[in-house]
Structure 1
């Protein structure tokens, strides 16, 4: 995964208002991809969370996947 690439979170992070399947963008790659700084934003561009996640906590967004909209959960 590279900077600016969309990624999918693999588990809920309720304390940050995130659910499994939410899409974020890689803003920084640590080391050789052991961890990633990922920004999650709302539909109007407001940052919801910026998290440092291990490679095992995210995956690349597949070209064949369709995006879905949901209301932002309360933290």
Structure 2
């Protein structure tokens, strides 16, 4: 599965050094294809005021697409 550019994703693991945690919603800003490796994505995470919290690049197995069952929350 590939994530389209500018699609929302859900982070599946904590990245405390980046200030983002499993369940946080981000936006795909770039796709990185390297032969023989899992596809990677750069994802930008924002606060509720639209300020960038972090931009991380991780393999696609660290994200999933949102479902109808997902509800944004505040931590």
TM-score bracket relative to the smaller structure:
0.7 to 0.9
Q: 5+ unaligned residues in a row in structure 2: which ranges?
A: none
Partner residue of 1:22 out of 21, 24, 29: 24
TM superposition outliers: structure 1 runs of 4+ over 6 Å: none
Map of 1:48 onto structure 2: 53
Structure 1 residue runs without a partner (length 5+)? 71-75
For residue 41 of structure 2, what is the aligned residue in structure 1? 36
Cα distance in 2, alignment partners of residues 54 and 14 from structure 1: 17
Q: State how 1:3-22 maps to structure 2 within 5 Å.
A: 3-22=5-24
Question: Post-superposition shift, 1:66?
Answer: 1.4
1:17 and 1:48 map into 2 onto residues whose CA distance is 7
Larger relative contact order (Cα-Cα within 8 Å, sequence gap ≥ 6) = 1
Alignment deviations for residues 42-67 of structure 1 (CA, whole Å, 9 cap, x no partner): 01111000000101111111133211
RMSD: 1.6
How many residues are aligned here? 70
TM normalised by structure 1 equals 0.84
